């Protein structure tokens, strides 16, 4: 049989196409990356494990898990067949590391074998550390046991002790509970610390000595006016000295900062007792008026007496004895040193002599009593005495009267007065009088009168006012205020304005009105007490009324937008330094909106991407407005927007989403029930493998090229029923706002090469320094920082500590290697010179490694792989501890790095931080698919070689 070469070639080409369609394009099973998890004991951990075939969405996927920790569950997701949910709440005592492997399997089709994908993660359960809590409880308990309740210095009120004890009990309950989380332990430490601070603040640091100081002041005021002597109202020098000594002792207690409450109370009691003794030592005033009256009356009676034996006459011996008694009484009256007691005794003796003289009169028997006294009244009184006078009857045989005080007989007297002494101040007393004649006849009719002793007169003026000054002034008025004295008997002040008395007032202010602007006026104040005592010392102050201000304040300066968002702009400025500046008037786009004394304003409720103008006028306290309006323009942050979304071609098992978006929209993220379905760059998305007659709630989130998130839009769509035949209907959704930002990159490394992964998020704003801080144990990268040139929203930075060189790098670096590391910031295309500059990496190196390598800190360098070579970056030591040395390096971009020691440096040294980040940074951020099997390529090559060999042999035979 003869076959032409052209036919042979056609057969071979057809066979090649068959082989390519049959086996070259194989589907791929992918498990969504999970990553390591870290939680504490008693804390819940839940996450989803999802897998899918990106070429066969209808493939059946099964899951299983290996090394499932005790108490954990791994169950199918109720709404997504290709998702399982892992849940674990580790109990007390389960701290440790748990390596869990999740296995997803897709069943083969036809002769194809099953495809399996695994994801192994490390779950680290941290032990609840109660060491610090127990230490804090122990220290607090010890402090509480040492606390002494009481009201002396360094003691504590009982309420403070009880409150602190309750706080310790609450913290102890957290420490004793086996279900406590680390957060609860940390909160208990914080709460107990707050309670301990309050307990410390409650410690008594001083004693109230106000009552003692008041007693000392009163005692000093009394002793300073006391006069030494033996006259009435004076004091013995010994009494004055004793009182001063008691005041000095009390003053010593008042000055003693360590005096206790008991000592202060005892000092007050002792000083009051000394004051009472001092008051008792006052020498009373000597009243000789009664004695002089008695002498005068006796002398008159003796002068009129006639010696003889007839009725009405007196024996000569009686007259002589009476004159001798009068002479002795006169000697006491003339004695300047006679005491009141001696005067009273002289009066009594003279009265007795007079009675004896009266009794010696030669009379006849008389049984008719004399008439009563008349005109009985109080003629004088003092704090301790009352003097009564009366008119004696005109009866010729009248002898004397009997005096009763408060119903009690006190004496007989022929005088027409009586002094009641030794009375209590302010007390009422009654006097009653009976008349008696020389025959002893008593008139039983009592004549009575009542009177009160006086209250002691206060002669000490009050203290002066203090803190007198003008509290405010106006154009035609001045307001003064002051503080009145603390004297208990203070009553009011006398106000003098410009030298003239104007009013009495008990207030602590005075308003002078009707004044001329720009004039100076003086106020003078004297204090007055309840007894009318006026303090002669005047306290004065001068003030000047204001002059009308017609000058507006200066304008604001340095006005600029401080920050912007999609719907708001924050402006700041510097207010003028004018002392009378009051507020500013805010205008937005020429329309007045508010007055404010602040130096900032937030304009809200704006549309995104629109420019607005703020205008500011300044106003002073007099209402003067500076009409020079200072302005600034700023635009709200422009965010991507989905303008319209609707469902198209809705069938029983699929829905097509179609939308219009703003020009700055780079990608749209499709979310269903909290799961991300896809990130789409076009205006449509087809969701297949759905259930008929089922409603699906979609969320569409737009992002711009920098990863800035726009407003989310929601739409609910229902698949067609089976009976409807799956016709393509459409539906329109409704939108709602949400906020967010760009995310981070997924790992491109093999799982076994990643020793540790650490992530931090930051909200990136234009013209701000951004710093990511990392603290996970084992991560020697301390921070990553840069200066942001744009508003990018929330951006993620990821650190990967590698066991070996990155799979993206083809050559080894120079020098001994300390650590390989990948550093990523944001998604692909973010870390460029258009978005950031001045990027820096702070890292640390174990000092023991440098000692082992025999290198100095100056020899440690950070190198960066730029896609072709390793670049040695500018690296400088920052600080050092016993264990680590910290360094900072400048970098032109983010990619694989290595920490090394390079001595000497042979690679180019980069220090220009404005160098553009290479495209390499974007390339490594894209998702790297697993390599396709090349076995079919080799099979095809062998088949083609065989075909051509057979054809060649056949043609040779022909």
Domain residue spans of the chain: 5-24+935-957, 29-126, 131-201, 210-280, 372-392+401-457, 466-544, 557-635, 642-735, 754-923
With bands split at pLDDT 50, 70 and 90, how would you rate the model's confidence at 916? very low
- Alpha-carbon distance of 902 to 818, in angstroms, equals 11
Tokens of 769: 């320094």
Sort strands 569-574 and 557-564 into parallel, antiparallel or unpaired: antiparallel
**Lowest-confidence region among 102-111, 344-353, 525-534:** 102-111
Tell me which of 2 and 52 has the higher pLDDT: 52
With bands split at pLDDT 50, 70 and 90, how would you rate the model's confidence at 904? very low
With bands split at pLDDT 50, 70 and 90, how would you rate the model's confidence at 549? confident
Q: Could you give the percent of the chain with pLDDT greater than 90?
A: 66
Q: Are 388 and 449 in contact (CB under 8 A)?
A: yes
Q: What is the pLDDT of residues 552-565, one digit of tens each?
A: 999 999 999 999 98
Number of H helices, E strands in the chain: 13, 50
Q: What is the pLDDT of residues 186-228, one digit of tens each?
A: 999 999 999 999 999 989 877 888 999 999 999 999 888 988 8
What pLDDT score does 11 carry?
57
Over residues 607-611, mean pLDDT: 90
DSSP 760-771: EEEEE-TTEEEE
Q: Could you give the percent of the chain with pLDDT greater than 70?
A: 88
Which of 655, 640, 662 is CA-nearest to residue 698? 655
| Top CATH class, 754-923 | mainly beta
Over residues 353-370, mean pLDDT: 84
Over residues 262-275, mean pLDDT: 92
What pLDDT score does 15 carry?
56
Q: What is the pLDDT of residues 858-876, one digit of tens each?
A: 999 999 999 889 999 999 9
Tokens of 91: 């109990």
Q: What is the 3-state secondary structure (H, E, C) of 369-414?
A: CCCCCEEEEEEEECCCCEEEEEECCCCCCEEEEEEEECCEEEEEEC
Burial code (b: 16+ CB inside 10 Å, e: under 16) for 237-276 equals eebbeebbebbeebbebbeeeebbbeebeebbeebeebbe
Domain 557-635, what fold?
Answer: Immunoglobulin-like (2.60.40)
Q: Are 784 and 826 in contact (CB under 8 A)?
A: no
Over residues 767-794, mean pLDDT: 93
pLDDT exceeds 60 at position 16: no
Over residues 491-510, mean pLDDT: 96
With bands split at pLDDT 50, 70 and 90, how would you rate the model's confidence at 112? low
CATH architecture, range 642-735: Sandwich (2.60)
Burial code (b: 16+ CB inside 10 Å, e: under 16) for 161-171 equals beebbebbeeb
With bands split at pLDDT 50, 70 and 90, how would you rate the model's confidence at 7? low
Task: Please determine whether the domains at 210-280 and 754-923 fall in the same fold group of CATH.
Answer: no
- Alpha-carbon distance of 662 to 43, in angstroms, equals 43
Q: What is the pLDDT of residues 186-197, one digit of tens each?
A: 999 999 999 999
Helix (H) or strand (E) run with residue 276 in it: helix 261-280
The yes or no reply on domain 466-544 and CATH 2.60.40.10 is yes
With bands split at pLDDT 50, 70 and 90, how would you rate the model's confidence at 768? very high
Over residues 94-102, mean pLDDT: 93
Q: Tokens 């609450």 map to which residue?
A: 170
Tokens of 139: 């220290």
What pLDDT score does 827 carry?
80
CATH of 29-126, one of 3.30.420.10, 3.30.365.10, 2.40.110.10, 2.60.40.10: 2.60.40.10
Superfamily of domain 131-201: AF1782-like (1.20.1270.90)
pLDDT exceeds 70 at position 232: yes
**Lowest-confidence region among 88-102, 354-368, 511-525, 555-569:** 354-368
Q: Are 680 and 667 in contact (CB under 8 A)?
A: yes
Helix (H) or strand (E) run with residue 957 in it: helix 935-957
What pLDDT score does 733 carry?
43
Q: What is the pLDDT of residues 450-494, one digit of tens each?
A: 999 988 888 899 999 999 999 999 999 999 999 999 999 999 999
What pLDDT score does 309 carry?
82
DSSP code of residue 438:
T
What CA–CA distances, in Å, run from 392 to 148, 326, 374, 389, 436? 76, 21, 7, 10, 10
pLDDT exceeds 70 at position 581: yes
Q: What is the pLDDT of residues 298-323, one digit of tens each?
A: 999 999 999 988 888 999 999 999 99
> If one looks up domain 210-280 in CATH, what number appears?
1.20.1270.90
**Lowest-confidence region among 251-265, 468-482, 704-718, 724-738:** 724-738
DSSP 42-83: T--EEEEEEEEESS-TT--EEEEEESPPTT-EEEE-SS-TTE
pTM score, two decimals? 0.30
With bands split at pLDDT 50, 70 and 90, how would you rate the model's confidence at 925? very low
Tell me which of 953 and 555 has the higher pLDDT: 555
With bands split at pLDDT 50, 70 and 90, how would you rate the model's confidence at 938? low
Sort strands 115-126 and 417-420 into parallel, antiparallel or unpaired: unpaired
> If one looks up domain 372-392+401-457 in CATH, what number appears?
2.60.40.10
Over residues 649-667, mean pLDDT: 93
With bands split at pLDDT 50, 70 and 90, how would you rate the model's confidence at 75? very high
What pLDDT score does 736 carry?
39
């Amino acid at each position: 049989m003869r076959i032409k070469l052209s036919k042979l070639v056609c057969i071979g080409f057809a066979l090649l196409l068959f082989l390519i369609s049959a086996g070259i394009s194989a589907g791929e099973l992918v498990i969504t990356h999970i990553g390591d998890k870290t939680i504490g004991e008693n804390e819940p951990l839940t996450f989803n494990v999802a897998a899918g075939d990106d070429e066969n969405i209808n493939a059946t996927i099964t899951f299983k898990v290996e090394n499932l920790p005790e108490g954990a569950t791994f169950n199918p997701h109720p709404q997504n067949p290709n998702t399982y949910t892992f849940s674990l709440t580790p109990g007390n005592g389960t701290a440790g590391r748990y390596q869990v492997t999740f296995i997803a399997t897709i069943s083969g089709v036809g002769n194809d074998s099953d495809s399996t994908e695994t994801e192994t993660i490390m779950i680290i359960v941290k032990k609840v550390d109660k060491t610090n809590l127990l230490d804090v409880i122990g220290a607090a308990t010890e402090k509480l046991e040492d606390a002494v309740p009481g009201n002396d210095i360094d003691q504590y009120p009982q309420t403070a002790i009880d409150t602190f004890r309750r706080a310790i009990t609450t913290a102890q309950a957290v420490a004793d509970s086996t279900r406590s989380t680390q957060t609860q332990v940390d909160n208990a430490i914080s709460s107990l610390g707050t309670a301990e601070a309050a307990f410390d603040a409650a410690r008594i640091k001083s004693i109230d000595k106000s009552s003692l100081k008041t007693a000392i002041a009163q005692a000093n005021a009394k002793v300073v006016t006391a006069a030494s002597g033996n006259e009435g109202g004076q004091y013995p020098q010994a009494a004055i000295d004793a009182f001063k000594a008691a005041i000095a002792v009390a003053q010593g207690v008042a000055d003693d900062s360590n005096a206790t409450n008991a000592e202060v109370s005892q000092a007050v009691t002792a000083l009051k007792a000394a004051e009472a003794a001092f008051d008792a030592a006052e020498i009373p005033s000597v009243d000789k008026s009664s004695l002089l009256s008695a002498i005068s009356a006796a002398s008159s009676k003796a002068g009129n007496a006639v010696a003889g034996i007839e009725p009405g006459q007196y024996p000569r011996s009686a007259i002589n004895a009476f004159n001798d008694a009068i002479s002795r009484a006169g000697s006491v009256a003339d004695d300047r040193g006679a005491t009141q007691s001696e005067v009273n005794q002289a009066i009594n003796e003279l009265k007795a002599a007079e009675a004896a003289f009266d009794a010696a009169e030669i009379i006849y028997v008389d049984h008719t009593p004399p008439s009563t006294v008349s005109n009985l009244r109080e003629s004088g009184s003092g704090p301790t005495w009352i003097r009564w006078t009366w008119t004696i009857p005109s009866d010729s045989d009248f002898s004397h009267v009997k005096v009763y005080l408060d119903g009690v007989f006190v004496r007989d007297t022929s005088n027409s007065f009586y002094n009641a002494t030794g009375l209590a101040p302010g007390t009422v007393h009654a006097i009653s009088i009976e008349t008696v004649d020389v025959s002893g006849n008593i008139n039983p009719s009592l004549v009575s009168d009542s009177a009160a002793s006086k209250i002691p007169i206060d002669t000490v003026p009050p203290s002066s006012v203090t803190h007198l000054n003008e509290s405010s002034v106006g154009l035609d008025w001045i307001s003064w205020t002051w503080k009145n004295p603390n004297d208990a008997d203070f009553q009011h002040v006398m106000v003098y304005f410009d030298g003239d008395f104007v009013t009495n007032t008990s207030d602590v202010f005075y308003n002078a009105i009707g004044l001329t602007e720009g004039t100076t006026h003086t106020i003078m104040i004297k204090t007055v007490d309840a007894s009318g005592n006026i303090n002669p010392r005047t306290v004065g102050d001068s003030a000047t009324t204001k002059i009308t201000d017609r000058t507006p304040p200066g304008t604001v300066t340095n006005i600029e937008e401080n920050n912007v968002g999609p719907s708001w702009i924050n402006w700041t400025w510097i207010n003028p330094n004018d002392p009378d500046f009051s507020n500013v008037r805010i205008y937005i786009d020429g329309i007045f909106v508010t007055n404010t004394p602040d130096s900032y304003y937030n304009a809200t409720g704006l549309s995104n991407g629109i420019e607005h103008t703020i205008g500011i006028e300044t106003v002073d306290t007099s209402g003067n407005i500076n009409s020079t309006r200072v302005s600034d323009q700023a635009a709200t942050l422009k965010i991507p927007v989905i303008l319209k979304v609707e469902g198209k071609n809705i069938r029983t098992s699929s829905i097509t989403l179609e939308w219009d978006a703003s020009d700055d929209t780079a990608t749209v993220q499709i979310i269903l029930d909290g799961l991300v379905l896809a990130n789409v760059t076009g205006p449509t998305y087809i969701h297949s493998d759905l259930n008929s007659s089922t409603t699906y709630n979609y969320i569409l989130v737009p992002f711009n090229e920098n990863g800035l998130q726009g407003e989310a839009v929601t739409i609910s769509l229902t698949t067609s029923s089976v009976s409807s035949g799956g016709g393509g209907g459409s539906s329109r959704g409704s939108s709602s706002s949400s906020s967010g930002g760009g995310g981070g990159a997924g790992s491109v490394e093999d799982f076994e090469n990643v020793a540790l992964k650490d992530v931090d998020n930051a909200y990136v704003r234009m013209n701000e320094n951004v710093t990511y801080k990392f603290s996970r144990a084992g991560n020697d990268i301390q921070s990553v920082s840069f200066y942001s040139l744009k508003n990018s929203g929330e951006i993620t930075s990821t650190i990967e500590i590698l066991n070996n060189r990155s799979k993206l790098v083809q050559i080894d670096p120079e020098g001994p290697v300390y650590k390989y590391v990948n550093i990523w910031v944001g998604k692909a295309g973010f870390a460029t010179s258009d978005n950031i500059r001045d990027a820096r990496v702070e890292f640390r190196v174990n000092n023991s490694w440098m000692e082992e390598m025999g290198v100095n800190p100056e020899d440690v360098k950070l190198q960066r792989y730029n896609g072709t070579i390793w670049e040695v970056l500018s690296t400088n030591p920052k600080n050092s501890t016993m264990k680590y040395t910290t360094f900072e390096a400048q970098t032109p971009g983010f990619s694989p790095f290595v920490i090394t020691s390079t001595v000497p440096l042979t690679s180019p040294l980069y220090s220009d931080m404005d160098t553009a980040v290479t495209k390499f940074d974007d390339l490594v951020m894209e998702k790297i698919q697993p390599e396709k099997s090349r076995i079919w390529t080799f099979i095809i090559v062998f088949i083609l070689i065989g075909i051509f060999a057979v054809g060649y042999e056949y043609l040779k035979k022909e």
